Amino acid sequence: MSDQVVAPVEVKAVVVEARDITKVAEMAVLASPNYKIRAGKADTFKNLTLAEDEKTNWKKGLIYLIARYSKGVNFELWMYSTKKGAHLAEFNNLIRPLAVGEVKCETLGHALKLRLQLVDTLTDEEVTAKITAFMTAIEPTLQAIREKIAVVVSKKETEAAAPAPAPAAEVVAEVPVEISVEVPAEEAPVSKRQAKKAAKRAAKAA
């Protein structure tokens, strides 16, 4: 009996396309229209910030960052600002409990960040659902924090906003006025001979 020959099965490699971070950012904005993609030239990451009053809210340091990692995309909430999260660390106790299930909590400067990893094998629908659930769960807490923190103003902005010093009053220099005073000339001393002559003239005149 001859041995049965089994034909080798060809295994095709599954090619997974790396998901673009800009596409993920656009999905997030569609899911949460109160956010916008912050303008910037970087192509290795994208930031999301509140569309309303963008400059002020950006300074408060509660932002989303989207960047690639080896197997997909990191979608993260950052407690970060010009002070490296120093003024946000007091709210760490509010952020930690939000790390549930796939959401992980990590340190970021003095404060924290929440990370959701979106593997490339997920469909667009699955990515949108995960982002929506993530943002919906943490947004009430972020809003509460934003209402409690003051805007961090840089030294440069403080100097620019400072009122210009009032112009100094013009000082008019006083010009000294010269006053001429006539001083009577001293009489020249009279010699004895001149005195005798003057006496004789006076006698004759008398």
Count of beta carbons in the 10 Å neighbourhood of residue 56: 11
Which amino acid is it at 117? Q
Supply the CATH classification number for the domain 21-153.
3.30.1460
Comparing CA positions, the residue from 101, 190, 94 lying closest to residue 143 is: 94
The string of pLDDT tens digits covering residues 110-145 is 999 999 999 999 999 999 999 999 999 999 999 999
CB 27 within 8 A of CB 128: yes
Instruction: At 123, list the tokens.
Output: 């469909």
CB 35 within 8 A of CB 121: no
User: What is the pLDDT, as a whole number, of residue 153?
Assistant: 63
More confident residue, 175 or 38: 38
Instruction: At 90, list the tokens.
Output: 């007091």
What residue ranges do the domains of the chain occupy? 21-153
pLDDT at 7 over 70: no
